Every structure is written in structure tokens, then in C-alpha cells.
Structure 1
Amino acid sequence: MMCEFSVEYVFGSVDKALAAELIDFWNLNQVSYQAELKSFRSHGDLSEIEPQLSKQKVLRRQPGAIARDQEGSIIGVVFVVLRELEAHLNLGSHAYFQRMYVLPQARLFYLTNQLYKIFLQGFIYSVELRDHRAGILIAENINPGLHKGAMRRYFARLGFKMLGSNQLGGEVWLLKLRNQFIF
């Protein structure tokens, strides 16, 4: 059980050392992350792990925040993916899609809550670091534990609005972002 941890907002500020740490983290945990995603899918194409709102390719994938244990090892990551959206969705031309992965042995509400809140607060105010074309942040909550009333109220309090469910059993939540075009 984890007692001490630290959380750091890293969107737009990943240096070579942190990039290497993140590569090591994903090399160790990618298989379990993918297996967990697949286990949450109620039906459909289990090889598809990205949200169904966009069939376009990933334009950019970046870490948003990381959690470390008391030894300094990464134990959790929130990351965002910039994608083009299909025009018929009427949600703008681009969106950020967000996911979070915390090592199973470190999953405590206090840790995941702090990791997510620090990510969200930083991301909302990082207008100059975000792609100006993306006017929304989308969270596809595929973990059935996030479909409970308390977790739905949690997301609503954070400013998200439920868009609906997708064909793979995930709840899709949307948060409007303030944007600014910077030359």
C-alpha cells in the first residue's frame, strides 16, 4: 500500500531524462495496460483502444502529469492524445483525448484524485502549450468502476458533461477548453 507520493504536471515540459523514464515505464507496463483496457470493453473490436469518436490518426501523444512513489519511480501517468475529429460530430476540428494509468498496487483514491486534479488544473491553464485547434478534452471512461453515481458526480464537479456512451461500453465525457491562437 502506498503512503507517500508526489505528483508533477509535465505537459509541454518533458526533457530527455523524463522521456527516458516514461519509455521505461511503458516498456514495463504496456502489456498490462493494454490487457486492462481490453478487459473493460464490453464488446466490439478489442484491438481498438482509442476512443471511437475519432477514426483519424494520432497527431500527437504527450504525458500530462506523472505520479512518483517515495523512491522516485513513476507509478502513474495521465496522458493526452491530439486527434482530428470527424466533421459530422459538430465538436470542432480537433480534440484532446485523455487517459490515465496508475500501477495496480498504487491505486488509492487519494493518489488518483491528486494525479487527475493536478493534471486537469494544469491542462486547463496551459492555453499557450495546447494546440489551438482543440477546443475540448474528452475522457472515455471505460473502467466500469467509473460508471457509478459517485464517479459521475465527481466528473460533473470537475466541469465535464457526459456526451453519452460508445459502442464499446465506455462513457464519453467532454470538457470545453478555453483556446487562444498564438503566432
Structure 2
Amino acid sequence: MMCKFSVEYVFGSLDKALAAELFDFWNLNQASYQAELKSFRSHGDLSEIEPLLSKQKVLKRQPGAIARNQEGSIVGVVFVVLRELEAHLNLGSHAYFQRMYVLPQARSSRLANQLYKKFLEGFIGSVELRDHRASTLMAENINPGLQEGFMRRYFARLGFTMLGSNRLGGEVWLLKLRNQFIF
């Protein structure tokens, strides 16, 4: 029997109720998320989560999209972090860095696909909500089980370009974003 779920785009619309729900979600699941990240790392320093990005502090972290089960509980989240980029990368001064986490018991390719597509569709269209300095969205695929041809074709169909592999074993993908300065 397939579990029903709903997916919603939430970037730029974080209210107190959703913030409280996400706080509870991460309180319950942060340890398993970090353990999973650690298990995927082939080598290197786990504290360096975004190895291509500068060591400067996160400028802003936001949820991008969430998935809920039929009871209404959050079972998955796509989140983005705005960071400064190292100048030698020639990718602009800032970028959004994206991650997705779905609870193990809720994982399915259908849910992951719908959650990610809902996020991308909304994020690409949210020019006025994004920081105008960021002209790229970067994604690191660290799950070795997903570093296969089907996943590479999936990212390419979504408009991403593979930058390569980093020293921690992840594949780094880049999507150019349209941006504009709004004042």
C-alpha cells in the first residue's frame, strides 16, 4: 500500500507555526541526518559540509519545500543555504547550496522526485525572494547509491551541470539561476 503525501513550496514563507514544526522535525531527526551524512562520506572532515564553499559563516539558511505524510507530519524537507563563494571558482560571489532529507521510513523515488521538482519549480521562479548576489544553485550528491547514471541523467534533465567530484566523495552539481536586483 502506497503512503499518501503532500508537497509544498515554502521558500520565503516561513511563519511561526512552520518554524516550530521544522524545529521539532530537526530536534527529532538531526542525529540520524548527521549519522547518515557521516556514513556517506568516504573520507575527510565531516565538519566541512560544503567543501567547495568558503569557510565563512552561513549567511542565511531557509526551508525550500516540505513533504507531509497523510497525518500532516513533516517527513521530508529541501533546504537552502546562502553562502559566499571562493573567488577562484569563478561562479560569482554567492550561491545557494541545497540539501534534501526525507525520513527513512517515508522514502520513495516518487516522493523524492515530487519534493525536489516542487522545490526547483518554485525556487527558479522566485527571483524576487532570492538574494540577487546568488546566480547559482549548487547541490552535492553524497549518497554513493545515487551516484549512478540514472541520477546523473535526472540532474541533467533538470538543467544541472556536473562540476565534478569533491575530495569528500560527493558529486557537485550546479544550476544557473536568473537573478535581478530589486530595490
Superposed pair shares fold, TM > 0.5: yes
Residue aligned with 2:82, SS = strand
Deviations 1:128-168 (A, max 9, x none): 00000000000010011221000000000000000011000
Q: Which residue of 2 is the match for residue 160 of structure 1?
A: 160
Q: Which residue of 2 is the match for residue 76 of structure 1?
A: 76
Write the mapping of 1:1-183 to structure 2, written as runs, cut at 5 A: 2-48=2-48, 50-54=49-53, 55-183=55-183
Report if the CA contact (8 A) 1:2-1:106 is conserved: no
| Unmatched runs of 5 consecutive residues or more in structure 1 | none
C-alpha change, 1:2 and 1:105, in structure 2 (3 Å) is farther
Residue aligned with 2:112, SS = helix
How far apart in 2 are the matches of 1:2 and 1:90? 45
Identical positions, percent: 86
How far apart in 2 are the matches of 1:56 and 1:173? 21
Matched letter for residue 161 of structure 2: K
Deviations 1:4-53 (A, max 9, x none): 000000000011000000000000000000000010000011233x2111
How far apart in 1 are the matches of 2:66 and 2:144? 23
Deviations 1:92-141 (A, max 9, x none): 00000000000000110000000000000000000000000000000010
Residue aligned with 2:111, SS = helix
How far apart in 2 are the matches of 1:18 and 1:51? 26
How far apart in 1 are the matches of 2:115 and 2:80? 14
Report if the CA contact (8 A) 1:2-1:69 is conserved: no
How far apart in 1 are the matches of 2:182 and 2:141? 32
What's the RMSD between the two structures over aligned residues?
0.9
Residue aligned with 1:58, SS = coil
Matched letter for residue 71 of structure 2: E
How far apart in 2 are the matches of 1:2 and 1:168? 35
How far apart in 2 are the matches of 1:87 and 1:57? 16
Count of matched residue positions in the alignment of Structure 1 and Structure 2: 182
Relative to the length of structure 1, the TM-score reads 0.98
Runs of 4+ in 1 over 2 A off after TM superposition: none
Residue aligned with 2:174, SS = strand
